[in-house]
Structure 1
């Protein structure tokens, strides 16, 4: 098993891609720390992992609150003494035209989607041993977006720039950093998108990915099998970006 006894911290682990990633890592032997805001949903993820024979704990953490992030990482380090894998999946979207968007919404989105990645990277790196990895979950919106989601697309573009820049500051034999960019995936975020609901953003259900397909790619990027992959973004989108 690729993650036997490795400590894996996953944000957004209570649903969608984050939950599927937690389950995949747990099935491969990881000690999974499921981060999220909803304890009920977190308990479902943990139960799923434990039912499969894996190890998991839920820790409540609101990524909009820097002190909560610090406290959570401190708790993880106190319990496990290290962090082998950091997966930053949690994200939020807004759906207003920029001229109508209250700027506090912009700030909140950047706090959750982008600043939390920087803070978690800062806090986790001192406790990440040789062979560790960080995987940031971006989006095809970083390259091919739609109207009314400018803050989200901006945060994902910046995330990919963060990954490229951080790769120059890290020895990839110690800690690798990469991003995975999903396309349309069967998650609550996709079907709750007002643009999708209204038909403004056309989704071909035949090309919608499964969370488990994204989890497989994320697990690969986090594993030693990807030991020579560093500072890049893997698009997992069913060929969507190939149409650009």
Structure 2
């Protein structure tokens, strides 16, 4: 990708999303950033406050980025939420709210991206190792991330004739607020060796690679980045 490329990144005020934004900025890409709010100012970026659980706001944010910047070459769907409770305690609105953010928003943005991107465009979805192996009390999160992996494959299939690639990243334990908020860890239901906790920058570097021309022959893949932890579970 050349320097005039535009990347649209969701969840850009969070740990992984912020790291992705910094890495793409370092690569010379112009940024359009979506999140509910940005506690710190972000220079040289188009800031698009939006609630990704609201389909209308999702569409408006994409259209605003395209209108203001004239093109979108990279889409990185980072934003996500997690509900910590047993499956038996999940209510319908829990599922609807979580799936709206974790699955429907990436699907809507990807659909718009397929229609707007030029050949050479790339979509990267941030899923989770929970799509393959999970733990107690996060059934809705795990299901949404498994569905996001499936969406990635479908997007890659539809994008191939258009010259647009789509891949997913499945991070393991990453040092973010979401990880530290987990009651499973606090209660000892899930024990993670500090050596198995990655940095947001680890995910960001992989996202940059998958979105760049260096990965031009890779599409429809889901790549685990967990320091090898899943291999020992």
Match of residue 38 from structure 1: 37
Match of residue 123 from structure 1: 112
1:5 aligns with 2:31: no
Is the 2:127–2:170 contact (alpha carbons within 8 Å) kept by the matching residues of 1? yes
Helix, strand or coil at the partner of 1:163: helix
Q: 1:72 to 1:198 in 2, by over 3 A?
A: same
Ranges in structure 1 where 5+ consecutive residues have no aligned partner: none
Is the 1:35–1:61 contact (alpha carbons within 8 Å) kept by the matching residues of 2? yes
By how many angstroms is 1:3 displaced? 5.2
User: 1:29 and 1:158 mapped to 2: Cα distance?
Assistant: 32
Q: 1:127 to 1:173 in 2, by over 3 A?
A: closer
Is the 2:33–2:45 contact (alpha carbons within 8 Å) kept by the matching residues of 1? yes
Is the 1:172–1:230 contact (alpha carbons within 8 Å) kept by the matching residues of 2? no
Match of residue 28 from structure 1: 27
User: 2:189 and 2:2 mapped to 1: Cα distance?
Assistant: 41
User: 2:154 and 2:121 mapped to 1: Cα distance?
Assistant: 18
Is the 1:7–1:82 contact (alpha carbons within 8 Å) kept by the matching residues of 2? yes
Q: How many residues align?
A: 233
By how many angstroms is 1:124 displaced? 2.0
Q: What aligned pairs does 1:125-140 form with structure 2 within 5 A after superposition?
A: 125-140=114-129
TM-score, normalised to structure 2, is 0.96
Is the 2:46–2:65 contact (alpha carbons within 8 Å) kept by the matching residues of 1? no
User: 1:177 and 1:243 mapped to 2: Cα distance?
Assistant: 28
User: 2:33 and 2:185 mapped to 1: Cα distance?
Assistant: 29
Q: What aligned pairs does 1:1-244 form with structure 2 within 5 A after superposition?
A: 4-41=3-40, 43=41, 46=42, 50=43, 55-171=44-160, 174-244=163-233
Is the 1:179–1:234 contact (alpha carbons within 8 Å) kept by the matching residues of 2? yes
Is the 1:3–1:25 contact (alpha carbons within 8 Å) kept by the matching residues of 2? no
TM-score, normalised to structure 1, is 0.92
Is the 1:139–1:183 contact (alpha carbons within 8 Å) kept by the matching residues of 2? yes
User: 1:102 and 1:159 mapped to 2: Cα distance?
Assistant: 21
RMSD value over aligned CA atoms? 1.3
By how many angstroms is 1:180 displaced? 0.5
Ranges in structure 2 where 5+ consecutive residues have no aligned partner: none
User: 2:118 and 2:82 mapped to 1: Cα distance?
Assistant: 33
